[in-house]
Amino acid sequence: MVQFNRNNFIKAKSEVLIVTAHPDDECMFFAPTILNLLRQGCCVYLLCLSSGGFYDESSIRKKELRESCKVLGIPAGNLIIIEHSQLPDNPQNKWSRLKVSSIILKYIRRLSITVVISFDEYGISGHLNHIAVCEGVKYLSLKGQLSPDCEVFLLKSVFLVQKYLGFIFVPLFYFCGKFCYVSTFQDVKTIWVSF
């Protein structure tokens, strides 16, 4: 697995697949990355592995996801929402690593993806669905099912203090070799609208 760092930037104009578990993950966790990748000229696809039906609100959540992608700049044709009975939106349900990895691999191949970005093994919040997405991506990498030119990046989970006081930690991340996207004020405004 490749971790974001200063020596391993994502190349401009890459075909990037962001893999999430639910509608709203894109704006809650990946929005700064998405905005920066689009600015670099990357073609960003979003693969959402459920329609967010935990509270029986799938249709509302899908509509919100489409709107969020529109605000973030992801073209409608680059959004893929999976509705599979084995992948229910449920914080108590651990998805099958094999099912998750097979779906992800299908879209990596279909879209000629060169960069995959998803959750790390803690899944930001410890949500079992997020963790399963990471396990699916790691499985593909460890089993050698990704082409050598396909890079994998995992969004690093951070302590609660870092989440809410992140701006204080930016210099620390820089000097420790961590790669992070820093949002502009316009980005922050866009991200808030995407919710």
30-88 tens-digit pLDDT: 999 999 999 999 999 999 999 998 888 999 999 999 999 999 999 999 999 999 999 99
User: pTM for the complete prediction?
Assistant: 0.85
pLDDT band at 1 (very low <50, low <70, confident <90, very high): very low
Question: Is residue 47 within a helix (H) or strand (E), and if so which, with residue range?
Answer: strand 43-48
Contact 177, 6 (CB under 8 A): yes
15-193 architecture in CATH? 3-Layer(aba) Sandwich (3.40)
H or E stretch covering 115: strand 115-119
Adjacent-strand bridge partners of 155:
119
Pairwise CA distance, residues 114 & 81, whole Å: 20
Rounded CA-CA distance 4/155 in Å is 8
